[in-house]
Amino acid sequence: MDSLDASFAALADPTRRAILARLASGEATVNELAKPFKMTQPAISQHLKVLEDAGLILQRVDGTRRPRRLAKSGIDAMDQWLAMLRKALEKNYDRLDQVLAAMESNKEGKRR
Amino acid sequence: MSKLTLKTEGDTHIVVTRRFAASPEAIYRAHTDTKLIQQWLLGPDGWTMPVCICDARPGGKFRYEWTNGKVGFHITGEFVELRPYSKIVHIERMYLPDPTPDNHVETRFEPDGSGTLMTMRMTLPDPQTRAAMLATGMEKGMEASYIRLEGMLRVAA
């Protein structure tokens, strides 16, 4: 749960979501990631660190470059967890379907 | 096939839609009548709502308490606007055990063919609260706690 908390906290920031969106189309260096934002490289690096600590991105060493990419396992964990929650919501409304059907048949019963 | 949609909107909104094969009136009653609420607003299997207080009028308060036999939690809230049978506006917070920031919820029921389209739009005070709500409240299976981080999961796909 701790790591999921970190994941969601990491996603509370629009810049970090935009970084993830950029990385979805392929790996990128800090320079490349900084370009679309009016932010300094250290500021972007700070965002990258938050994403990395949350398990959402990974970096590899390529000479002097440190390209970042999405970490599939971190994203998958959140996706699975959200799917679970979605199921809970669906459960509520499936139950509501039953309640509504019972209300309807009561009404029919009284009419007869 | 799922009839449910969940998506985020902007940085602070969550929008849930669901179709029902019943009239707006019936669904509105199921959201405001305690005997009906206790039958469905329960989240995952194994949870019950032993306390359900709902004073469904503008300014009226509500309190829902859930338990799974071992642990429990509750929410409280106030109704802002009730327009039978098309709209409910309320504010709620969850106690974990400290109160979470207020969640402003507008629920609409619109005729849709022979059934009803429900649209629930939540507004949180800030993006951090929305993220925190995801990370804590949702596992409790509450109405206010469901979301799909559409944007971010789409980018991960």
Provide the token pair at A52: 């990395």
Q: Is the pTM of this model over 0.80?
A: no
Residues A10-51 have pLDDT tens digits of 777 778 877 877 787 778 999 888 887 778 889 999 999 999
Q: Which domains are assigned to chain B?
A: 5-156 (3.30.530.20)
Instruction: For residue A38, give the amino acid letter.
Output: K
Query: What CATH code is assigned to A2-111?
Result: 1.10.10.10
Q: Are the C-beta atoms of residues B114 and B89 closer than 8 Å to each other?
A: no
Of the partner residues A8, A91, A101, the one whose CB lies closest to the CB of residue B43:
A91
- Chain B residue set in contact with A, beta carbons under 8 Å: 2-4, 6, 11, 16, 18, 20-22, 26-27, 29-30, 36, 39-45, 127-128, 130-132, 134-136, 138-139, 141, 143, 145-149, 151-153, 155-157
- Chain A contact set for B135 (CB, 8 A): 1, 4-5, 8-9
Q: Order the strands of the B61-67 sheet from edge to edge.
A: B5-9, B13-20, B115-123, B103-112, B87-95, B72-83, B61-67, B48-54
The interface pTM score, or ipTM, of the predicted complex is: 0.76
Residues A55-98 have pLDDT tens digits of 889 999 999 899 999 887 766 666 665 666 577 778 899 999 99
How far apart are alpha carbons A65 and A24 in whole angstroms?
19
Compute the count of residue pairs across chains A and B with CB atoms less than 8 Å apart: 121
Of the partner residues B39, B135, B147, the one whose CB lies closest to the CB of residue A95:
B39
